[in-house]
Amino acid sequence: MKVTVAGAGYVGLVTSACLAEIGHQVTCIDIQKEKIDLLQSGRSPIHEPGLEPLLEKNLRNEQLHFTTNPHRAYSDADIIFIAVGTPETRDGSADLKYIHVVAHTIAHYIEQDVIVCTKSTVPVGTNELIQQIIDSRKPPNLQVEVVANPEFLREGAAILDFFHGDRIVIGTRHPEAAAFMEQFYLQLNIPIMKTDIRNAEMIKYAANAFLATKISFINEVANICEHVGANIEEVAYGIGQDKRIGHHFLKAGIGYGGSCFPKDTKALVQFGGNLKQRYELLEAAINVNKRQQSLPVKKAKETVGSLHGKKIALLGLAFKADTDDVRESAALTIVKELLEEGADVTAYDPIAIPNTRRIVGNAIGYTEDIRQALQDTDLAIIATDWDQIKHLPLEVYLTKMKNPIVIDGRNCYSLQSIGQYPITYLSVG
Ligand code: UGA
């Protein structure tokens, strides 16, 4: 089938590469020329495990094409996926300007009947708006059906999630479009849920809101554990054994970051607010998350007093392991707070330094060598659970640091193993 994907962000790129891999003729369009040039040479602008080999292979066998040309992208597509960004506006709501532009462009360039499938996370009602925009501008003889098809890919595991997702949600009440989409996804062998557009849109927000709330919930329990002398790792394991709760997303830490949870939770609160409907539980989850990100510096001050002039190693910058993405990363909050305290910070990360440097500049030092980051430091703060940090021989803290004090925001070490060393270790919960 001839597939077009609008947007070469992480959802658009993963969708393009994976659909080409299963035999579709895919054209991915983006307005950023430099990005398209890079992609045409087989290189990925984002770090996503397994993505680059798929891009290279499918470019070589001409299953996958990149373009900035809307005529080439849209005129003869059988199905168009919208995967452009919906960034946060100043009031927390989703900014739909890219969605509007794409809808107008599609209407202008299509030359045959087409299904338009929205993968971008959009507030309830947006797909109906996309349908209206296209209907009012398309050639009158063509039929376009807009389907909501939210995405549940995790950064760092997106290729795996594409081929082995828990479900595919297809939002349309148009029987032919629903049957078309079902057929399109059949070979992935993933359970398909057919529903209407508004339910599909809401499922995406509710899923992310639930997961974010689950993280804030366990972080609250962790904070109580610290005060009552319980251990959050064991408590989380104990409650996760109950199948109704489950083990996933019960890892306590310094809160969720990334391009999705922070943005989508705020958008849902804002969306409710517009309807004079407060979402108090989610507001609390957002506040807990904010507080959680400030815990490492608070604990640092409680442990060593003033941080002014102290040499501090920040281990990990990415919002989670296996990605170079630092958007809404807890590490950025920590950097800001440490700089406000007058600390001398050196950050370690295996791949997220270039993205951090773009935001933070040279206000801190950077290194891709953990040992170098720890050299002669008064304190170390762990912000990302990279394997390189989890598997670091614990003696390194003793041999490299001036004072072996480790504040671990991701619970990378068991209390039993680190307890064998004269290291002051403060984890979460
Ligand atoms: C999230 C969802 O997991 C995906 O299903 C969804 O498709 C995606 O958002 C999206 O809306 O596009 P992602 O942001 O890539 O995916 O990352 P997650 O693996 O969900 O982690 C988010 C944050 O929560 C990270 O900062 C992570 O460290 C934190 N987290 C996660 C915890 O603190 N504890 C946990 O138990 C799990």
Contact 86, 95 (CB under 8 A): yes
Q: What is the pLDDT of residues 302-359, one digit of tens each?
A: 999 999 999 999 999 999 999 999 999 999 999 999 999 999 999 999 999 999 999 9
Do 210 and 332 share a structural domain? no
Is the CB–ligand 1 distance for residue 153 below 6 Å? yes
Domain boundary among 252, 267, 291: 291
Say which CATH number the domain at 409 has. 3.40.50.720
Do 94 and 208 share a structural domain? no
Residues 6+ apart with CB under 8 A from 276: none
Do 285 and 298 share a structural domain? no
- 345 CA distance to ligand 1 middle (Å): 27
Q: What is the pLDDT of residues 247-258, one digit of tens each?
A: 999 999 999 999
Please report which residue ranges of 75-174 form alpha helices under DSSP H. 97-109, 126-137, 158-164
Do 170 and 85 share a structural domain? yes
127: its two tokens: 């797909």
The reply to whether 210 sits in an annotated binding site is no
CA–CA separation, 88 vs 92, rounded Å? 5
Q: From 78, 75, 154, 98, select the one nearest 319 (Cα to Cα).
A: 154
pLDDT the model gives residue 354: 97
* Closest-lying ligand 1 atom to the alpha carbon of residue 158: 15
Contact 324, 359 (CB under 8 A): no
pTM for the full predicted model: 0.95
Q: From 150, 77, 86, select the one nearest 114 (Cα to Cα).
A: 77
The reply to whether 153 sits in an annotated binding site is yes
CA–CA separation, 261 vs 155, rounded Å? 12
Angle among Cα 68, 73, 74 to the nearest 5 degrees reads: 135
* Closest-lying ligand 1 atom to the alpha carbon of residue 255: 33
Domain boundary among 164, 195, 226: 195
Do 174 and 36 share a structural domain? yes
Do 327 and 421 share a structural domain? yes
Q: Is the pLDDT of residue 89 over 90?
A: no
Q: Which structural domain, as residue segments, surrounds residue 185?
A: 2-195
Q: Which of the residues are catalytic?
A: 260
Do 97 and 53 share a structural domain? yes
Is the CB–ligand 1 distance for residue 319 below 6 Å? yes
Q: Residue with the nearest Cα to atom 2 of ligand 1?
A: 154
Do 253 and 185 share a structural domain? no
Contact 211, 45 (CB under 8 A): no
Is the CB–ligand 1 distance for residue 356 below 6 Å? no
Name the burial class of residue 326, with classes exposed (0-12), middle (13-18) and buried (19+) by CB atoms within 10 angstroms of its CB: buried
Mean pLDDT on 375-395: 98
CA–CA separation, 289 vs 303, rounded Å? 22
Do 225 and 181 share a structural domain? no
Q: Is the pLDDT of residue 129 over 80?
A: yes
Is the CB–ligand 1 distance for residue 154 below 6 Å? yes
Do 308 and 268 share a structural domain? no
- 211 CA distance to ligand 1 middle (Å): 8
ipTM of the complex model: 0.97
Mean pLDDT on 84-100: 90
Is the CB–ligand 1 distance for residue 401 below 6 Å? no
Is the CB–ligand 1 distance for residue 65 below 6 Å? no
Do 26 and 135 share a structural domain? yes
What is the DSSP track for 3-66?
EEEE--SHHHHHHHHHHHHTT-EEEEE-S-HHHHHHHHTT--SS--TTHHHHHHHHHHTTSEEE
Q: What is the pLDDT of residues 223-274, one digit of tens each?
A: 999 999 999 999 999 999 999 999 999 999 999 999 999 999 999 998 877 7
- 156 CA distance to ligand 1 middle (Å): 10
Domain boundary among 263, 291, 319: 291
Q: Work out how many domains the chain is built from and give that number.
A: 3
pLDDT the model gives residue 177: 97
The reply to whether 35 sits in an annotated binding site is yes
Which among 154, 210, 334 is the best mutation to test ligand 1's pocket, defined by most ligand atoms within 8 Å of the CB? 154
* Closest-lying ligand 1 atom to the alpha carbon of residue 212: 24
Say which CATH number the domain at 226 has. 1.10.1040.10
Instruction: Please tell me what DSSP assigns to residue 153.
Output: P
Within 13 Å of residue 407, how many CA atoms lie on the same side as its CB? 24
Do 302 and 208 share a structural domain? no
Mean pLDDT on 115-142: 96
Q: From 229, 226, 168, 232, select the one nearest 200 (Cα to Cα).
A: 168
Q: Is the pLDDT of residue 275 over 80?
A: no
When pLDDT is cut at 50, 70 and 90, the band that residue 92 belongs to is confident
